[in-house]
């Protein structure tokens, strides 16, 4: 049996080494090592050997198998390399042709704009702050100079969490704006302060093309000594000009928000008609952009900052609205629809 094995080994190895293609190699494997292959059958015969022969021949058979496996692997590698070399030198094979494209996702348009906002304010020295989407009535209203009985509470239809949470902080609410982060940040970091707070906010509202119950805002706040609205005008003009990549002007109009005094509304020159007047800006040359103002002394005090030493301003704009302006989107509901036909355009 040993000599039979030896002969077979020699034959198999010789055949493997003269195999010219991977297919030939595969056939040799089936012929000898397959379920009914010659070597397989011979190895099955080992069990009929006598007790003395079995360990000796068994060991030898094992060595034969290892030899053959090694030769197989070696030849397979050689053939593979030859194949590759052939393919590369073959005139029909264009190595410069682009390969299969991977499907790549991309950022949602809202977050593309959010990233730009964060980058530009970051360049101007503002820290980016993250906040809670559910906060207390105290931070969402009271600390911002909006007492319980104040009619300004009606300006923002609120989702309340049912159970009372705390004597002082009252109920929890889904924040109606990013403004709760004003007092929270003053408490945490003190003055001077320069922050922006991008985040989701919630209003109990019926949805239509320009309203959604969930949308995104960006709050901004700057507190330091000798601060005035002139700084706000400078910062916002620079921010919008960098964001849109062309000169943008801003103007102030009086506005009312309980947490600022004086309060203003900030408009920007119409992006579509360069302030000449068109349908989108209703022929005024201006587009409404955000609320802002000098931080009310009560709000500074709530944040533990002395209004006799520090002043500041704050603003809040809709990131959702900004995104719609930037990409000319006319229905807010598309943004959170998860509709890929819509999203893949950005
Ligand atoms: N929180 C206001 C809103 O959601 C926007 C706002 C107005 C924020 C004036 C401010 C501000 O910081 O000073 O309608």
Examine the domain organization and report whether 296 and 147 are in the same domain: yes
Average of pLDDT values for 302-329?
96
- Provide residues with CB under 6 Å of ligand 1: 177, 179, 219, 257, 260, 291-293, 314-316
Question: Are the C-beta atoms of residues 256 and 146 closer than 8 Å to each other?
Answer: no
Question: For residue 178, which atom of ligand 1 is closest to its CA?
Answer: 1
Over the stretch 85-128, which tens digit does the pLDDT of each residue have? 877 777 777 778 888 888 889 999 999 999 999 999 999 999 99
Name the pTM for this structure: 0.72
Could you write out the DSSP letters of every residue in 161-223? EEEEEETTTEEEEE-SSSTHHHHHHHHHH-SSEEEEEEEEEE-----BTTB-SEEEEEEEEEE
Residue 165 in any domain: the answer is: yes
Question: Are the C-beta atoms of residues 220 and 316 closer than 8 Å to each other?
Answer: yes
Q: How many domains does the chain have?
A: 2
Distance of CA 329 to the CA centre of its chain: 21
Domain edge (last residue) among 45, 61, 89 = 89
Over the stretch 126-166, which tens digit does the pLDDT of each residue have? 999 999 999 999 999 999 999 988 877 777 789 999 888 88
Pick the range with the lowest mean pLDDT from 201-210, 297-306, 309-318. 201-210
> 280 lies in which domain range?
109-343
Examine the domain organization and report whether 124 and 169 are in the same domain: yes
Domain edge (last residue) among 89, 119, 136 = 89
Examine the domain organization and report whether 75 and 114 are in the same domain: no
Give the mean pLDDT of the chain.
92
Question: Are the C-beta atoms of residues 259 and 182 closer than 8 Å to each other?
Answer: yes
Pick the range with the lowest mean pLDDT from 19-23, 90-94, 118-122, 236-240. 90-94
Examine the domain organization and report whether 115 and 79 are in the same domain: no
Instruction: Give the mutation target among 173, 175, 179 for probing the ligand 1 site: most ligand atoms within 8 A of CB.
Output: 179
Residue 249 CA to ligand 1 center (angstroms) comes to: 20
Residue 213 in any domain: the answer is: yes
Residue 315 CA to ligand 1 center (angstroms) comes to: 6
Interstrand relation of 311-318 and 214-224 (parallel, antiparallel or unpaired): antiparallel
Residue 179 CA to ligand 1 center (angstroms) comes to: 6
Examine the domain organization and report whether 151 and 209 are in the same domain: yes
Which residues are CB-neighbours of 18 under 8 A, at least 6 positions away?
none
Residue 104 in any domain: the answer is: no
Examine the domain organization and report whether 17 and 126 are in the same domain: no
The length of the chain in residues reads 346
Report the percentage of the chain scoring pLDDT > 90.
62
Token pair for 73: 């692997």
Domain edge (last residue) among 33, 54, 89 = 89
Instruction: Give the mutation target among 316, 318, 320, 322 for probing the ligand 1 site: most ligand atoms within 8 A of CB.
Output: 316
Over the stretch 67-90, which tens digit does the pLDDT of each residue have? 999 999 998 999 888 888 877 777
Which H/E stretch holds residue 54?
A: helix 53-89
Pick the range with the lowest mean pLDDT from 85-94, 210-219, 297-306. 85-94
Examine the domain organization and report whether 34 and 126 are in the same domain: no
Predicted confidence at residue 126, as pLDDT, reads 98
CB burial of residue 183 (10 Å; 0-12, 13-18, 19+): buried
Examine the domain organization and report whether 71 and 159 are in the same domain: no
Q: What CATH number should be reported for the domain holding residue 259?
A: 3.30.930.10
State the CB neighbour count (10 A cutoff) for residue 285. Answer: 17
Report d(CA 302, CA 224) in Å as an integer.
Answer: 16
């Amino acid at each position: 049996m040993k000599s039979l094995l030896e002969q077979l080994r020699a034959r198999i190895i010789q055949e493997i080494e003269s195999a010219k293609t991977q297919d030939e190699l595969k056939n040799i494997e089936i012929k000898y090592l397959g379920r009914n292959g010659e070597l397989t059958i011979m190895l099955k015969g080992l069990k009929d050997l006598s007790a003395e022969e079995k360990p000796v021949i068994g060991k030898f058979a094992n060595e034969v198998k290892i030899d053959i496996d090694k030769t197989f692997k070696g030849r397979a590698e050689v053939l593979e390399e030859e194949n590759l070399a052939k393919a590369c030198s073959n005139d029909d094979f264009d190595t410069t042709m682009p390969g299969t494209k991977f499907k790549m996702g991309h950022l949602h348009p809202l977050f593309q704009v959010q990233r730009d906002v964060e980058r530009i304010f970051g360049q101007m020295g503002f820290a980016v702050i993250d906040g809670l989407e559910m906060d207390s009535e105290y931070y969402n209203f009271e600390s911002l100079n909006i007492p319980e009985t104040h009619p300004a509470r009606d300006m923002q239809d609120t989702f309340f969490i049912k159970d009372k949470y705390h004597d002082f902080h009252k109920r929890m609410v889904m924040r109606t704006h990013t403004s709760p982060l004003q007092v929270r940040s003053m408490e945490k970091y003190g003055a001077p302060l320069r922050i922006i707070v991008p985040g989701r906010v919630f209003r109990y509202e019926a949805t239509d093309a320009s309203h959604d119950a969930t949308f995104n805002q960006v709050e901004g706040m700057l507190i330091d000594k000798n601060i005035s609205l002139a700084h706000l005008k400078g910062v916002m003009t620079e921010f919008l000009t960098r964001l849109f990549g062309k000169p943008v002007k801003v103007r102030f109009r009086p506005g009312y928000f309980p947490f600022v005094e004086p309060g203003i509304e900030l408009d920007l020159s119409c992006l579509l008609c360069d302030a000449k007047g068109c349908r989108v800006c209703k022929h005024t040359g201006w587009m409404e952009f955000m609320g802002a103002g000098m931080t009310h002394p009560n709000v500074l005090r709530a944040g533990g900052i002395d209004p006799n030493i520090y002043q500041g301003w704050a603003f809040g704009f809709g990131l959702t609205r900004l995104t719609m302006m930037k990409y000319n989107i006319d229905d807010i509901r598309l943004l959170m629809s998860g509709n890929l036909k819509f999203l893949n355009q950005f």
